[in-house]
C-alpha cells in the first residue's frame, strides 16, 4: 500500500537545507507535498520557490516584508495564503496545513517553531541543531507530550539513527558502547594556531566537502559544529557524555558509527550530500531515491581517520565542557557562539578569538538549571548581552 502524501512545512526554505529538501520533495510528488514555505527576509527567493512548489501558505519572518511578498506572489499568479512574523511562523509549524516539519532555520531563531512542531505531534525533521542544543530536555518533553516523532537530519545523527536498532532505542539495553561522530575537520584541518591567525570569513566558509550556509560553515571551521553535535547526540540518543567520541575523517564518506559491546562497529556511508539524510527522514521507514550519485568506494581512495586537535580547535573542548556542566550551559555556549560567528563574519572578530569569546561568556554566566522556555530565552538573551559587551571591550 502506498503511504499517504506527506504535507510538509519547510521552515527556512530559502537556505541550503531548505533547497535540498525541496529538491527531494519535487522528485516524489506521489509521496510529498510542500504545503508551507518560510524565509527570514529573502522575498524574491521565497516567491520563486512558491511559484515552483505551489504551497498553501508562505510566511516571511520579517513583518515589514509581507506586503512585498504578497505583491510578488500576485504578480507570479501564485494564490497562496501569506503571513509574516515570528509568531505566524511558529503557528504554521503547529498548524493543520502540515503533518511534517523540516526545521531548517539557522540558530536559536528556530527554537520556538521546533518546539511548536514537537508539541503538536508532527514528524519533526530536525536540521536546526541549535534548538536541541539550547533546549534538549524541553524539546524531548514537548515531543513526548505531542506524541509525534523526531528524525534527525544532521548527517551524523541521521547516520547513528540508521545504525541503531529501531531509531532511538535505550542504548544500554541495546548493547551500545559508544556513539562515534565523524568530522571532516573543516577547511583548516592540520593548521597550527599561528596559521589560523589571519584567516578570513570567505576562507572559513570554503568547506572542502559540504556546501552549507555561512553560519554552519564557520562552525565547521572552528569545530564548534562538532561540539554542538556532541550535545545534540547526547539529547537525541540519551548518550552519556563519555560515550560520545569524535573522529576526524576528511573524506566525509563515513557519516558516523555506533560501537556495540560485542565489538561490532556499524557505520553509515554515502556521498556528502544532505539529500540522503533528508530523503531518509522524509520517507522513513521506507526509502526513496534522493537524487544522490552512487558511492563508488573503489574510486574514492583511502579512508582516513584521526583524533581531533582539541588544543587548536578549542570550541570542541568547550562544548564538551558545557555538556558536562549541564543545565543551561549548552544554551549559553550556543548563544555566545552565535554572537561570535556573526562578529567574525562581519569582520569584527579574529577567527582565533571565537573560542575566547565563548569561554568568557561561559565563565561569566555559570550554569543554572533549565526551568522552562521563558527562563531559557532570558538566559540566551543575557548570554548575548555579555558576549556583545566582551566584544566591545576587545575592540
Ligand atoms: P542557511 O543560512 O543556508 O539557511 C537558513 C534559513 O533560515 C534561510 O531560509 C533563512 O531565511 C532562515 N532564517 C534565518 N534566520 C531566520 C530567522 N531569524 N527567522 C526565520 N527564518 C530565519 O542555513 P543552512 O546551512 O541551511 O542551515 C540550517 C540549519 O540546518 C542550521 O541549524 C544548521 O546547523 C543545520 N544543518 C545544516 C547543514 C547543511 O548542510 N547546510 C547540515 C546539517 C545541519
Ligand atoms: Mg552534521
For 394, phi then psi, to 5°, come to -75, -20
Which pLDDT belongs to residue 260? 98
Residues flanking ion ligand 2, Cβ below 5 Å: 154-156
What is the rounded distance in angstroms from the CA atom of residue 82 to the CA atom of residue 38? 10
Q: Edge-to-edge strands of the sheet including 254-260?
A: 244-248, 176-183, 254-260, 265-269
Closest C-alpha among 243, 249, 279 to residue 158: 279
| 145-194 tens-digit pLDDT | 999 999 999 999 999 999 999 888 999 999 999 999 999 999 999 999 99
Which pLDDT belongs to residue 395? 65
Closest C-alpha among 66, 1, 65, 58 to residue 34: 58
How far apart, in Å, are the Cα atoms of 98 and each of 34, 120, 121, 390?
A: 8, 11, 11, 42
Ligand 1 binding pocket mutation candidate from 104, 108, 215, 222 (most atoms within 8 A of CB) = 104
Decide: 15 in ligand 1 pocket, CB within 6 A: yes
Ligand 1 binding pocket mutation candidate from 9, 10, 12, 90 (most atoms within 8 A of CB) = 12
The set of cell numbers assigned to 293 is 550519485
Q: How far is ligand 1, taken at its centre, from the CA of residue 211, in Å?
A: 12
DSSP secondary structure code for residue 335 in this structure: H
In contact, 145 and 138? CB cutoff 8 Å: no
In contact, 108 and 131? CB cutoff 8 Å: yes
Chain centre distance of CA 235: 14
* Ligand having the closest approach to the CA of 255: 2
Q: How far is ligand 1, taken at its centre, from the CA of residue 48, in Å?
A: 18
What CATH class is the domain 6-152?
A: alpha beta
The set of cell numbers assigned to 348 is 569584527
Q: How far is ligand 2, taken at its centre, from the CA of residue 41, in Å?
A: 25
Decide: 112 in ligand 1 pocket, CB within 6 A: no
The set of cell numbers assigned to 270 is 554515502
To the nearest 10 degrees (0 to 180), the angle between helices 43-53 and 66-75 is 40
Q: How far is ligand 2, taken at its centre, from the CA of residue 20, in Å?
A: 15
The model carries a pTM of 0.98
For the CA of 219, the closest atom of ligand 1 is 34
Ligand 1 binding pocket mutation candidate from 92, 213, 319, 342 (most atoms within 8 A of CB) = 213
Q: How far is ligand 2, taken at its centre, from the CA of residue 68, in Å?
A: 35
Decide: 129 in ligand 1 pocket, CB within 6 A: yes
Q: Edge-to-edge strands of the sheet including 32-39?
A: 81-84, 57-60, 32-39, 6-11, 100-103, 123-126, 149-152
Q: Which residues contact 379 (CB under 8 A, 6 or more apart)?
A: 328, 331, 332, 335, 365, 368
In sequence order, the β-bridge partners of residue 124 are 101, 150
Which pLDDT belongs to residue 211? 85
The set of cell numbers assigned to 365 is 554566566
Which pLDDT belongs to residue 168? 86
Q: Which segments of the chain belong to CATH 3.40.50.720?
A: 6-152
Burial-class residue 366 by CB neighbours within 10 Å (0-12, 13-18, 19+).
Answer: exposed
Q: Which segments of the chain belong to CATH 1.10.1740.10?
A: 326-395
Kindly report the CATH number that applies to the domain delimited by 326-395.
Answer: 1.10.1740.10
- Decide the pairing of beta strands 244-248 and 254-260: unpaired
Phi/psi region, residue 287 (left: phi>0; alpha: psi -120 to 50; beta: rest), is beta
Decide: 42 in ligand 1 pocket, CB within 6 A: yes
The set of cell numbers assigned to 368 is 543554572
Q: How many residues does the chain have?
A: 395
Q: How far is ligand 2, taken at its centre, from the CA of residue 225, in Å?
A: 7
What is the rounded distance in angstroms from the CA atom of residue 395 to the CA atom of residue 391? 6
Atom 21 (ligand 1) nearest CA: 40
pLDDT under 50: residue ranges of the chain: none
* Ligand having the closest approach to the CA of 19: 1
Decide: 281 in ligand 1 pocket, CB within 6 A: no
Helix runs in 40-192, H state only? 43-53, 66-75, 86-94, 111-119, 129-146, 155-163
Would you give the end-to-end CA distance of the chain in angstroms?
63
Decide: 37 in ligand 1 pocket, CB within 6 A: no
Atom 31 (ligand 1) nearest CA: 106
> Kind and range of the H or E element at 58?
strand 57-60
In contact, 233 and 179? CB cutoff 8 Å: yes
Amino acid at each position: 500500500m502506498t503511504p499517504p502524501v506527506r504535507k510538509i512545512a519547510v521552515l527556512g526554505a530559502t537556505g541550503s537545507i531548505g533547497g535540498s529538501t525541496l529538491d527531494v520533495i519535487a522528485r516524489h510528488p506521489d509521496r510529498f507535498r510542500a504545503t508551507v514555505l518560510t524565509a527570514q527576509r529573502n522575498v524574491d527567493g521565497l516567491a520563486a520557490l512558491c511559484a515552483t512548489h505551489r504551497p498553501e501558505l508562505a510566511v516571511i519572518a520579517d513583518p515589514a516584508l509581507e506586503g512585498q511578498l504578497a505583491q510578488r506572489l500576485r504578480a507570479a499568479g501564485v494564490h497562496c495564503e501569506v503571513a509574516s512574523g515570528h509568531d505566524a511562523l511558529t503557528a504554521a509549524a503547529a498548524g493543520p496545513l502540515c503533518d511534517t516539519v523540516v526545521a531548517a532555520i539557522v540558530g536559536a531563531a528556530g527554537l520556538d517553531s521546533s518546539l511548536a512542531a514537537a508539541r503538536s505531534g508532527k514528524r519533526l525533521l530536525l536540521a536546526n541543531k541549535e534548538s536541541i542544543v539550547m533546549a534538549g530536555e524541553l524539546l524531548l518533553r514537548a515531543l513526548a507530550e505531542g506524541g509525534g516523532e523526531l528524525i534527525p537530519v544532521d548527517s551524523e545523527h541521521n547516520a547513528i539513527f540508521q545504525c541503531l536498532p529501531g531509531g532511538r532505542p535505550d542504548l544500554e539495553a541495546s548493547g551500545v558502547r559508544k556513539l562515534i561522530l565523524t568530522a571532516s575537520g573543516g577547511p583548516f584541518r592540520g593548521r597550527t594556531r599561528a596559521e589560523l591567525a589571519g584567516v578570513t570569513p570567505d576562507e572559513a566558509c570554503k568547506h572542502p566537502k559540504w556546501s552549507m550556509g555561512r553560519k554552519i560553515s564557520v562552525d565547521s571551521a572552528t569545530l564548534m559544529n562538532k561540539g554542538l553535535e556532541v550535545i545534540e547526540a547526547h539529547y537525541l540518543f540519551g548518550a552519556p557524555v563519555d560515550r560520545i567520541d569524535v573522529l576526524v575523517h576528511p573524506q566525509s564518506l563515513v557519516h558516523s558509527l555506533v560501537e556495540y559491546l560485542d565489538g561490532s562497529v556499524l557505520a553509515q556511508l554515502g556521498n556528502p550530500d544532505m539529500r540522503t539524510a533528508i530523503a531518509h527522514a522524509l520517507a522513513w521507514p521506507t526509502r526513496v531515491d534522493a537524487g544522490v550519485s552512487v558511492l563508488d568506494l573503489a574510486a574514492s581512495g583511502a579512508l582516513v581517520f584521526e583524533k581531533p586537535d582539541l588544543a587548536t580547535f578549542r570550541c570542541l573542548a568547550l562544548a564538551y565542557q558545557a555538556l558536562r556542566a549541564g543545565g543551561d550551559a549548552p544554551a549559553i555556549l550556543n548563544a555566545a557562539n552565535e554572537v561570535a560567528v556573526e562578529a567574525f563574519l562581519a569582520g569584527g572578530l579574529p577567527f582565533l578569538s571565537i573560542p575566547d569569546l565563548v569561554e568568557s561568556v561561559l565563565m561569566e554566566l555559570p550554569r543554572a538549571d533549565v526551568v522552562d522556555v521563558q527562563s531559557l530565552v532570558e538566559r540566551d538573551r543575557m548570554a548575548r548581552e555579555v558576549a556583545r559587551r566582551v566584544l566591545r571591550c576587545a575592540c
